[in-house]
């Protein structure tokens, strides 16, 4: 296949709006294709397929969201067609809608943000049912008893061996850490209040947990860095914890060509004030830190007004949300490993807190100089559903659009955030970085997010001419174009044409197989045998995710050298 | 040959430590399972071959004939119902949802006569829960409400609840208190530290009273609420508030009494309120070993966990309108497929009478009262014994069932796939 | 007033979904076009004329000036008058589930009985039932926090369980008895019950429920005193106190 004459943005390879052909063969980008279809992309915007580094798309939490929200299920209904199964849901779509909607947006890879090891079978059952996109899942390690014990003992070798085992057991791709220590404290209804607040009964602090996991992660040379949801997320004044966390690990070096720590949905961790009354944005402080330090990355976690379903392993946060908002509350604590909560809610333009939160996400992106350091996400469906990505993209590209939105919000916004004063408008290249090139680099997916020779042939063609359209003025047209790809080519196959799904290939599931010295693997084994005998409610031999649940794997090797 | 760590295909406990001895493709020994599970694993008299009812009598036929006949019945129907699903693996349930979609049928599980009300309660309030291992390791207070695991979930107490031992509960039963609330003194109640007997149909009021006491508003309550003394309820509330980790486990006694889903709704709120005093979780004591699995599969595939009506090409969920008992009770369904369930035994009489007037297709390894109402009977392999696959425990944890012996019978999944193929072929022919 | 008359051609057993039988949809259509309107019998789609005889006045009108007369047994015909904003629908017989759901205006009269979910998520307009109504009158959809928000429902007979669950506004009057849990989780609106009720106002946050007959009142309701209302002496309760509710419940006698 040849995609001819498009205006290509491939930031990884230094291409910003060049008219060129993309040749594809056997699912890969090649120098020149020998035969094949020709897609005429003249005068159209061409980018690599979208890569979503953080969304909650599969697993127990997501399904809990569906089960408790039939009122969400009845939104977004699309009947079955000859090719497609029915779609349901807005904030918690069914599996088929997930795949179809990502594909229509021009995305080709999405990573599930958090899977607990013992419930990863469920995560994979759902991932298997999501059509088209390539996927992976990040495994939760921030509250596991074995992790806490290794961190307490400073035993990084054993911790690395446990991570290796845990990734294999969960067929996971990377190390996810959520409110480290707090999830275990929540086992008896408690939480941790900061980096140095010890976890009850484990004599280890969140600081030690984070540092140990990062060291082990780098020892294992995993493709992705530790992916962190900070302590005190969602609390006024928490920006201090965020900065403290970053400072706490400045000395740790990455073992790979990437960041050493990725902080996720930073909007929720960039709060000033001492309570809800004086709540304000600290995005400038956070962005400033990131501008001065190159070893850290983040993603936005942008709010979208309207219905959302919050779901996170930060269970104490969800309990607090539910009490504050008088909302439905689901909680699920997972033996020896994690906890989680799901709370449906609605973000309102006239609610002062929500309006400021909305501003913070955008502020972070506009104040961070390098788009390589900040990804565009909504922490779907916590900030809002991913179908709203084009809304976020156009807000970043257009000051007039932002001004129009701010005019509809609660009047506190200009007083509590600098957003209204920011003139910066991101261009096509910067958007391509934030939604394709950077997420792929941050995740360590070397064949994604770019269109160089050897890359996966995931290509999006949008129905707009980047040379002729001014995204600052014509943001409505841009949003429309980003919402329905003219073409989505996945692995060299056309999956979307003129906004319609035309093919349903099965995506691959990325997971990391990391090797460690046998000596440490055996020590972990001994600990596990002990824990399964005494504490787990299932047998060790039934624990690991079996091959049957990952039918199209893409195994990435890593390990201690 | 001993096969270790086998999963039991009987109840929602989904015990995974069973040892099964197999000799020459026969199961000759089962260890550790309770007698309910052991009996299921050992198996009993099977349906020998597919059958079709001819002139009122069931006559043996081939699988191909049976698939064809089943497909015709389902295609001709304007409101077919696909029911059961609780005693088979997720792989079969997925095929069922696909079949329902393509037929424009209603699909529903045995939750309709079991914990369906719990699901509706969860839709009102959410569920503050945990895995069973959390209860084992942390719970120093267990409340069984309208649940009698002593008989329905025999190994629950030892493995997960009252008698279990864990990291923070090394003393087992001695280190915890057990409260039972029920309409009669059950086996479980006999082992309780506190038993409250209540009059049938008064659960809602008593839970409201407990919520008042927990919130410190007990003074406004009368001395007796629905025949239960306030002093008793105050004692229960105090035990709950002073627990380090309390758990509220409920069963059909709460879902099937007057109030139904409102009872669950109220109980879920009680547990949520208790969380402002101490740690508390709630758990629905699911009956069949994979009824939870059906809810999960149906939810991720259709957006809803049960009672899904595909008549108009997209999922429509409205229990009270689209549940199996609803459509059968109103005589508004004109064909039924029963798989891994036994409605003739478990449905109310008037509903079963509805089944007698319509063509019924049964897929099951074993004969049961539903067989006598069936027009097409298709024997299948026993999931979890002869077929491997996925099941979800009552707390939502998924595990893989093992295949212990070979079987000549096709699996549920295969049978459904074949029926679907016939449906597609017949539909294309038209 | 343009009158369109619709009569069933047979007795239905498989339910029919006829949400297009609504003044807003038919008012501008010729009778022949109305015959072609899509309707569903179970999973089969067909034109209205396959199942009903259509007769009446020709000539396009506005919805306000349209009367749809449904003559016969419509007890298995669902979603009649769905989302109507004006005009009249009269059912000379029984009506099926979800009659008048989501309506914002106009009038629906059911001479016989109404099935479950009458006036679900209603926002305006008037529904009158001469016979009895079933469960979930004026309630919401599962999981939603609001059901009926406005409008009026008047039932001359009795009603079933879960009347006005999640009501946020509007008015419902039932002359006879109601079943279990009327006015559950309410956040507004007025419910008037001529007969008896079982555990009214469970988890009510605000709103008014008047039970002229006998009520079994929740222990979480607090007796405030007695009041005279409409010529009767009623006990006044505040509740549902389980969640600091400030609803008003009135009952003549308490079980």
Q: Mind listing the pLDDT tens digit for each residue in A527-546?
A: 999 999 999 999 999 999 99
Q: What is the chain A residue with the closest CA to B302?
A: A94
User: Is the domain of B265 the same as that of B318?
Assistant: no
Burial class of residue A257, CB neighbours in 10 A (0-12, 13-18, 19+): exposed
Strands (E), A247-315: 261-263, 271-272, 280-281, 296-299, 306-312
User: Is the domain of B258 the same as that of B278?
Assistant: yes
Residues of A in contact with B90 (CB under 8 A): 125
Nearest residue to B73 (alpha-carbon basis) of B32, B45, B109, B105: B105
Contact flag B205-C199 (C-beta cutoff 8 Å): yes
User: Is the domain of B273 the same as that of B170?
Assistant: yes
Residue B20 lies in a domain: no
User: Is the domain of B139 the same as that of B179?
Assistant: yes
Neighbouring chains to A with at least 3 Cβ pairs closer than 8 Å: B, C
Mutate which: C17, C117, C145, vs A, most A CBs within 10 A: C145
**From the list B119, B166, B275, which residue is nearest A189 (CB)?**
B275
Residue B36 lies in a domain: no
Return the pLDDT at A267: 98
Please give the backbone phi and psi of residue C56, each rounded to the nearest 5 degrees, phi first. 120, -155
User: Is the domain of B54 the same as that of B66?
Assistant: yes
Residues of B in contact with C202 (CB under 8 A): 204, 208, 262, 266
Mutate which: A74, A86, A88, A89, vs C, most C CBs within 10 A: A74
- The residue range of the domain holding A346 is 46-501
Q: Does B256 touch chain C (CB under 8 A)?
A: no
Contact flag B124-C185 (C-beta cutoff 8 Å): yes
Residue C104 lies in a domain: no
Q: Does B259 touch chain C (CB under 8 A)?
A: yes
Contact flag B212-C222 (C-beta cutoff 8 Å): no
Mutate which: A90, A171, A311, A331, vs B, most B CBs within 10 A: A331
Burial class of residue C44, CB neighbours in 10 A (0-12, 13-18, 19+): middle
pLDDT in tens, B57-93: 999 999 999 999 999 999 999 999 999 999 999 999 9
Nearest residue to A338 (alpha-carbon basis) of A482, A209, A513, A498: A209
Contact flag B204-C185 (C-beta cutoff 8 Å): no
* CATH number of the CATH domain containing A382: 3.20.20
Q: What is the chain A residue with the closest CA to C243?
A: A326
Residues of C in contact with A68 (CB under 8 A): 143
Neighbouring chains to C with at least 3 Cβ pairs closer than 8 Å: A, B
Alpha carbon distance B249, B252 (integer Å): 11
Residue A154 lies in a domain: yes
Asked if residue A389 lies in contact with residue A365, where contact means CB atoms within 8 angstroms, the answer is no
Residue C8 lies in a domain: no
Mention every residue, 6+ apart, whose C-beta is less than 8 A from residue B385. Answer: B9, B27, B40, B41, B43, B403, B404, B405
Share of chain B residues as helix, strand and coil, in percent rounded to the nearest 5? 40, 25, 35
Q: Does B217 touch chain C (CB under 8 A)?
A: yes
| CA distance, residue C193 to nearest chain B CA (Å) | 20
Average pLDDT, chain C: 97
Return the pLDDT at C230: 81
> Prior bond to A314 cis, omega within 30?
no
Please state the rounded mean pLDDT for residues C144-166. Answer: 98
User: Is the domain of B305 the same as that of B259?
Assistant: no
Residues of C in contact with A70 (CB under 8 A): 141-143
> Prior bond to A490 cis, omega within 30?
no
Residues of A in contact with C17 (CB under 8 A): none
Domains held by chain C: number? 1
Contact flag B262-C41 (C-beta cutoff 8 Å): no
Q: Does B120 touch chain C (CB under 8 A)?
A: yes
pLDDT in tens, A378-404: 999 999 999 999 999 999 999 999 999
Q: Does C205 touch chain A (CB under 8 A)?
A: no
The answer to whether residue C55 scores a pLDDT higher than 80 is: yes
Chain B 14-33, CB below 8 Å of chain A: which residues?
Answer: 16-17
* CATH number of the CATH domain containing B88: 3.40.50.740
Residue A521 lies in a domain: no
pTM: 0.97
Structure tokens at A475: 């943001």
Neighbouring chains to B with at least 3 Cβ pairs closer than 8 Å: A, C
Contact flag A333-B101 (C-beta cutoff 8 Å): no
Mention every residue, 6+ apart, whose C-beta is less than 8 A from residue A441. Answer: A12, A258, A372, A449
Residue B323 lies in a domain: yes
User: Is the domain of B250 the same as that of B137?
Assistant: yes
- The residue range of the domain holding B338 is 46-113+289-429
Domains held by chain B: number? 2
Tell me which residues of chain B have a pLDDT lower than 70.
none
Instruction: Give the least confident one: A52-56, B348-352, C72-76.
Output: B348-352
Nearest residue to A357 (alpha-carbon basis) of A421, A409, A433, A403: A409
Residue C29 lies in a domain: no
Distances (CA, A) of B191 to B185, B226, B231, B243: 10, 24, 21, 19
Residues of C in contact with A66 (CB under 8 A): none
Mutate which: B105, B116, B126, B318, vs C, most C CBs within 10 A: B318
Average pLDDT, chain A: 97
Q: Confidence band (pLDDT; 50, 70, 90) for C207?
A: very high
Contact flag B204-C42 (C-beta cutoff 8 Å): no
Query: Which H or E run includes B290?
Result: none
Q: Does C142 touch chain A (CB under 8 A)?
A: yes
Mention every residue, 6+ apart, whose C-beta is less than 8 A from residue C53. Answer: C6, C7, C9
Distance of CA A117 to the CA centre of its chain: 18
**From the list B133, B390, B399, which residue is nearest A335 (CB)?**
B133
User: Is the domain of B60 the same as that of B149?
Assistant: no
Please state the rounded mean pLDDT for residues A121-150. Answer: 98
The answer to whether residue C20 scores a pLDDT higher than 90 is: yes
Domain edge (last residue) among B253, B284, B315: B284
Contact flag B317-C97 (C-beta cutoff 8 Å): no
Q: What distance, in Å, lies between the first and last C-alpha atoms of chain A?
A: 40
Return the pLDDT at C229: 85
User: Is the domain of B309 the same as that of B419?
Assistant: yes
Contact flag C43-B310 (C-beta cutoff 8 Å): yes
Residues of C in contact with B311 (CB under 8 A): 17, 40, 42-43
Please give the backbone phi and psi of residue A357, each rounded to the nearest 5 degrees, phi first. -55, -45
Q: Which residue has the higher pLDDT, A15 or C230?
A: A15
Asked if residue A248 lies in contact with residue A195, where contact means CB atoms within 8 angstroms, the answer is yes
- The residue range of the domain holding C213 is 116-254
DSSP sequence for chain C:
-EEEEEEESS---S-EE-TT-SHHHHTTS-HHHHHT-EEEETTEEEEGGGTEEEEE--S---GGGEEEEEES-BTTEE-TTTT--SSEEEEES-B-TTTTTT--SSEEEESS-B-SSTTTT--SSEEEESS---SSTT---TT-S----S-EEEESS---SSTTTT--S-EEEESS---B-TTTT-EEEEEEESS-EESTTTT--EEEEEEEEEEE--TT-EEEEEEEETTEEEEEEEE-GGGT--EEEEEEEE-
Neighbouring C-beta atoms of residue B430, cutoff 10 Å = 5
User: Is the domain of B208 the same as that of B295?
Assistant: no
Mutate which: A64, A67, A69, A71, vs C, most C CBs within 10 A: A71
Domain edge (last residue) among B219, B250, B284: B284
Q: Which DSSP state fits B33?
A: S
Domain edge (last residue) among B284, B314, B347: B284
Stated length of chain A? 561
Chain C 208-237, CB below 8 Å of chain B: which residues?
Answer: 218-220, 222
Residue C83 lies in a domain: no
Instruction: Count residue pairs from A and C with Cβ separation < 8 A.
Output: 11
pLDDT in tens, A515-527: 999 999 999 999 9
Chain B 319-358, CB below 8 Å of chain A: which residues?
Answer: none
Return the pLDDT at A33: 83
Residues of A in contact with B387 (CB under 8 A): none
Asked if residue A46 lies in contact with residue A39, where contact means CB atoms within 8 angstroms, the answer is no
Domains held by chain A: number? 1
pLDDT in tens, A225-254: 999 999 999 999 999 999 999 999 999 999
Residues of C in contact with A69 (CB under 8 A): 143
Residue B262 lies in a domain: yes
Q: Does C43 touch chain A (CB under 8 A)?
A: no
Contact flag C42-B317 (C-beta cutoff 8 Å): no
| CA distance, residue B83 to nearest chain A CA (Å) | 19
Residue A528 lies in a domain: no
Q: What is the chain A residue with the closest CA to C205?
A: A326
Q: Does B390 touch chain A (CB under 8 A)?
A: yes
Residue B33 lies in a domain: no
Contact flag B400-A95 (C-beta cutoff 8 Å): no
Q: Does B127 touch chain A (CB under 8 A)?
A: yes
Residue B41 lies in a domain: no
Cross-strand bridge partners of residue B169 = B166
User: Is the domain of B275 the same as that of B255?
Assistant: yes
Distances (CA, A) of A220 to A161, A163, A291, B396: 9, 9, 28, 32
Contact flag A329-B4 (C-beta cutoff 8 Å): no
Residue C134 lies in a domain: yes
The answer to whether residue A561 scores a pLDDT higher than 80 is: no
Return the pLDDT at A178: 98
Mutate which: C13, C96, C203, C242, vs B, most B CBs within 10 A: C242
- Say what the ipTM of the complex is: 0.97
Residue C193 lies in a domain: yes
């Amino acid at each position: 296949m040849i995609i001819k004459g498009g205006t290509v943005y491939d930031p990884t390879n230094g291409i910003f709006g060049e008219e060129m052909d993309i040749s594809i063969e056997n699912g890969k980008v090649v120098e020149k294709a020998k035969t094949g279809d020709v897609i005429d992309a003249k005068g159209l915007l061409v980018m690599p397929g979208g890569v979503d580094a953080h969304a909650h798309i599969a697993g127990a939490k997501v399904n809990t969201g569906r089960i408790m929200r039939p009122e969400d299920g009845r939104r977004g209904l699309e009947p079955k067609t000859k090719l497609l199964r029915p779609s349901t849901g807005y904030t918690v779509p069914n599996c088929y809608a997930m795949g179809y909607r990502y594909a229509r947006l021009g995305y080709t890879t999405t990573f599930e943000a958090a899977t607990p090891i013992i419930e990863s079978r469920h995560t994979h059952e759902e991932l298997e049912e999501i059509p088209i996109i390539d996927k992976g899942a990040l495994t939760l390690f921030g509250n596991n008893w074995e992790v806490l014990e290794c961190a307490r003992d400073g035993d990084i070798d054993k911790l690395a061996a446990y991570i290796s085992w845990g990734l294999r057991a969960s067929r996971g791709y990377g190390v996810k850490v959520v409110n480290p220590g707090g999830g275990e404290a929540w086992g008896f209804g408690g939480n941790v209040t900061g980096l140095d607040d010890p976890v009850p009964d484990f004599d280890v602090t969140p600081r030690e947990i984070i540092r140990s996991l990062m060291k082990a992660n780098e020892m294992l040379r995993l493709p992705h860095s530790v992916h962190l949801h900070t302590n005190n997320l969602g609390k006024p004044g928490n920006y201090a914890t965020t900065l403290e966390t970053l400072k706490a690990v400045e000395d740790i070096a990455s073992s790979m060509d990437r960041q050493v720590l990725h902080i996720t949905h930073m909007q929720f961790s960039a709060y000033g004030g001492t309570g809800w009354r004086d709540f304000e944005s600290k995005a400038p402080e956070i962005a400033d830190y990131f501008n001065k330090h190159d070893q850290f990355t983040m993603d936005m976690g942008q709010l979208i007004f309207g219905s959302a379903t919050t779901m996170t392993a930060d269970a104490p946060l969800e309990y607090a949300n539910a009490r504050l908002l008088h909302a439905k509350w689901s909680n699920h604590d997972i033996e020896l490993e994690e906890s989680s909560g799901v709370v449906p809610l609605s973000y309102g333009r006239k609610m002062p807190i929500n309006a400021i939160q909305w501003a913070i996400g955008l502020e972070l992106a506009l104040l961070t100089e390098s788009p390589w350091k900040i990804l565009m996400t909504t922490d779907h469906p916590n900030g809002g559903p991913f179908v709203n990505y084009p809304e976020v993209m156009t807000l970043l590209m257009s000051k007039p659009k932002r001004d129009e939105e701010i005019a509809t919000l609660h009047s506190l916004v200009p007083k509590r955030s600098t957003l209204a004063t920011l003139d910066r408008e991101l261009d096509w290249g910067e958007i391509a970085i934030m939604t394709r090139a950077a997420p792929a680099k941050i995740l360590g997916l070397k064949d994604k997010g770019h269109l160089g020779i050897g890359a996966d042939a995931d290509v999006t063609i949008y129905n707009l001419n980047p040379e002729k359209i001014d995204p600052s003025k014509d943001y409505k047209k841009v949003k429309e174009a980003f919402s329905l790809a003219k073409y989505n080519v996945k692995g060299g196959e056309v999956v979307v044409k003129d906004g319609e799904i035309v093919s349903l290939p099965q995506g691959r599931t990325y997971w990391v197989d990391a090797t460690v010295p046998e000596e440490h693997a055996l020590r972990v084994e001994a600990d596990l045998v002990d824990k399964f005998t005494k504490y787990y409610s299932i047998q060790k031999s039934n624990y690991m995710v079996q091959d049957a649940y990952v039918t199209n794997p893409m195994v990435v090797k890593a390990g201690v050298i | 040959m001993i096969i270790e760590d086998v999963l039991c295909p009987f109840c929602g406990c989904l015990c995974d430590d069973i040892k099964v001895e197999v000799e020459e493709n026969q199961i000759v020994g089962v260890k550790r399972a309770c007698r309910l599970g052991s009996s299921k694993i050992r198996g009993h008299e099977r349906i020998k071959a597919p059958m079709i009812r001819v002139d009122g009598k069931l006559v043996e036929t081939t699988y191909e004939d049976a698939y064809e006949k089943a497909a015709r019945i389902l295609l001709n129907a304007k409101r077919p119902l696909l029911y059961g699903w609780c005693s088979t693996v997720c792989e079969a349930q997925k095929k069922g949802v696909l079949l329902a979609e393509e037929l424009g049928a209603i699909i529903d599980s045995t939750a309709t006569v079991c914990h369906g009300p719990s699901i509706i309660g969860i839709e009102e309030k959410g569920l503050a829960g945990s895995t069973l291992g959390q209860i084992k390791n942390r719970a120093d207070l267990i409340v069984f409400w309208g649940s009698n695991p002593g008989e329905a979930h025999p190994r629950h107490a030892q493995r997960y609840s009252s008698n279990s031992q864990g990291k923070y509960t090394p003393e087992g039963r001695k280190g915890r208190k057990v409260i039972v609330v029920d309409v009669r003194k059950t086996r479980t109640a006999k082992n309780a530290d506190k038993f409250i007997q209540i009059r049938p149909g008064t659960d809602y009021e008593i839970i409201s009273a407990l919520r008042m006491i927990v919130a410190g508003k007990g003074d406004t309550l009368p001395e007796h609420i629905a025949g239960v003394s306030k002093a008793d309820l105050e004692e229960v509330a105090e035990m709950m508030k002073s627990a380090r980790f309390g758990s509220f486990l409920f069963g059909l006694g709460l879902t099937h009494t007057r109030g139904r889903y409102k009872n669950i709704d109220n109980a879920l709120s009680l547990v949520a309120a208790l969380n402002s005093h101490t740690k508390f979780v709630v758990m629905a004591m699911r009956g069949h070993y994979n009824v939870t699995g059906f809810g999960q599969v149906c939810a991720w595939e259709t957006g809803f966990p049960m009672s899904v009506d595909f008549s108009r090409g997209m999922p429509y969920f409205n229990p009270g309108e689209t549940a199996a008992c609803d459509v059968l009770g109103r005589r508004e369904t004109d064909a039924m497929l029963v798989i891994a369930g036994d409605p003739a035994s478990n449905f109310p009489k008037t509903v079963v009478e509805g089944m007698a007037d319509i063509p019924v297709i049964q897929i099951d390894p074993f004969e049961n009262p539903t067989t006598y109402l069936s027009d097409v009977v298709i024997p299948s392999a026993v999931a979890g014994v002869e077929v491997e696959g996925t099941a979800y425990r009552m707390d939502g944890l998924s595990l893989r069932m093992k295949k212990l012996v070979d079987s000549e019978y096709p699996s549920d999944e295969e049978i459904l796939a074949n029926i679907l193929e016939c449906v597609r072929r017949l539909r294309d022919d038209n | 007033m343009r009158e369109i008359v619709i009569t069933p051609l047979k007795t239905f057993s498989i339910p029919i979904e006829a949400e297009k039988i609504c003044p807003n949809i038919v008012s501008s259509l010729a009778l022949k076009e109305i015959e072609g309107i899509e309707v569903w019998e179970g999973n089969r789609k067909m034109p209205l004329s396959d199942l009903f005889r259509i007769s009446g006045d020709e000539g396009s009108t506005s919805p306000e000036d349209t009367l749809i007369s449904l003559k016969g047994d419509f007890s298995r015909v669902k979603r009649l008058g769905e989302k109507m904003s004006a005009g009249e629908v009269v059912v000379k017989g029984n009506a099926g589930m979800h009659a008048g759901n989501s309506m914002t205006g106009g009038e629906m009269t059911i001479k016989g009985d109404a099935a479950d979910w009458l006036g679900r998520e209603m926002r305006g307009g008037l529904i009158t039932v001469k016979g009895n109504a079933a469960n979930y009158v004026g309630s919401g959809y599962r999981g939603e926090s609001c059901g009926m928000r406005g409008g009026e429902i008047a039932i001359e007979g009795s009603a079933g369980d879960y009347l006005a669950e999640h009501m946020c506004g509007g008015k419902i009057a039932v002359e006879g008895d109601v079943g279990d849990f009327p006015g559950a989780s309410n956040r507004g609106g007025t419910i008037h019950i001529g007969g008896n009720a079982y555990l009214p106002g469970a988890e009510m946050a605000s709103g008014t429920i008047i039970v002229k007959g006998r009520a079994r009142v929740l222990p979480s309701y607090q007796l405030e005193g007695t009041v005279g209302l409409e010529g009767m002496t009623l006990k006044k309760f505040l509740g549902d106190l389980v969640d600091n509710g400030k609803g008003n419940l009135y009952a003549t006698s308490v079980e």
